[in-house]
């Protein structure tokens, strides 16, 4: 099963240096990411752990932010400073992470959170987390709990065995 986050960002293009993104990701875990950027697509792979994240830079539809907050679909968790630095949004980044059959849920979820955190760190914005129905500001994401705790909560949404579909 793939994991997915959406990042609403004021950034209009990918970070100029793939090595800076690789360093941001590897600082969060035991990963050795290889980052490739091609047009509106970004791929992060850790071959040793059987992990791949794909990110796509998309146009930002102005109603996206409001639709996430409408009807309490997503609870906002951000500081005033997050709001000041994140707006206005210019792009949406969809980040999807898949894993090989031998990869455990904890590694996949930590890689997913690490890739999202690295892109977010370099581009800014708010992270839409469908697993906790939360729209995160970066300072609250980092301040409320360690990245490993975010990953643990996300891993609970992965099936134990991809062919069976039960909780891991």
The chain-wide mean pLDDT, for the chain, equals 88
Domain that residue 85 falls in? 3-155
Predicted confidence (pLDDT) at residue 20 exceeds the cutoff of 70:
yes
Q: Which residue has the higher pLDDT, 139 or 44?
A: 44
Q: pLDDT category, 159, cuts 50, 70, 90? A: confident
45 belongs to a structural domain: yes
**pLDDT above 70: percentage of residues in the chain:** 93
Q: What is the mean pLDDT of residues 98-110?
A: 92
51 belongs to a structural domain: yes
96 belongs to a structural domain: yes
Q: Which residue has the higher pLDDT, 19 or 66?
A: 19
Q: What is the pLDDT of residue 162?
A: 46
Closest CA relative to residue 25, chosen from 103, 106, 121, 97: 121
3-state secondary structure of 150: helix
Q: How many structural domains compose the chain?
A: 1
Predicted confidence (pLDDT) at residue 166 exceeds the cutoff of 70:
no
pTM: 0.89
Q: What is the pLDDT of residue 167?
A: 34
Q: Crossing angle of helices 105-123/18-26, nearest 10°?
A: 130
33 belongs to a structural domain: yes
47 belongs to a structural domain: yes
Beta strands (DSSP E) in 3-125 are: 3-9, 34-38, 41-46, 51-59, 75-77, 91-99
118 belongs to a structural domain: yes
Q: What is the mean pLDDT of residues 5-18?
A: 92
**Digit-coded pLDDT (tens) for 46-57:** 999 999 999 999
160 belongs to a structural domain: no
70 belongs to a structural domain: yes
Q: What is the pLDDT of residue 168?
A: 32
Which stretch, 22-26, 68-72, 84-88, has highest mean pLDDT? 22-26
């Amino acid at each position: 099963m793939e994991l997915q986050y959406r990042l609403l960002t004021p950034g209009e293009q990918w970070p100029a240096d793939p090595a800076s993104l690789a360093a941001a990701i590897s600082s969060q875990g035991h990963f050795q990411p290889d980052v490739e950027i091609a047009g509106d697509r970004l791929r992060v792979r850790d071959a040793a752990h059987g992990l791949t994240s794909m990110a796509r830079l998309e146009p930002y539809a102005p109603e996206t932010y409001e639709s996430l907050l409408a009807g309490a679909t997503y609870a906002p968790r951000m500081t005033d400073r997050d709001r000041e630095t994140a707006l206005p949004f210019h792009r949406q980044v969809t980040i999807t992470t898949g894993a090989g059959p031998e990869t455990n849920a904890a590694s996949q979820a930590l890689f997913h959170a690490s890739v999202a955190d690295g892109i977010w760190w370099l581009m800014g914005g708010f992270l839409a987390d469908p697993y906790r129905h939360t729209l995160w500001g970066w300072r609250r994401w980092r301040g409320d709990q360690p990245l490993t705790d975010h990953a643990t909560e996300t891993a609970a949404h992965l099936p134990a065995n991809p062919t069976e579909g039960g909780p891991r």
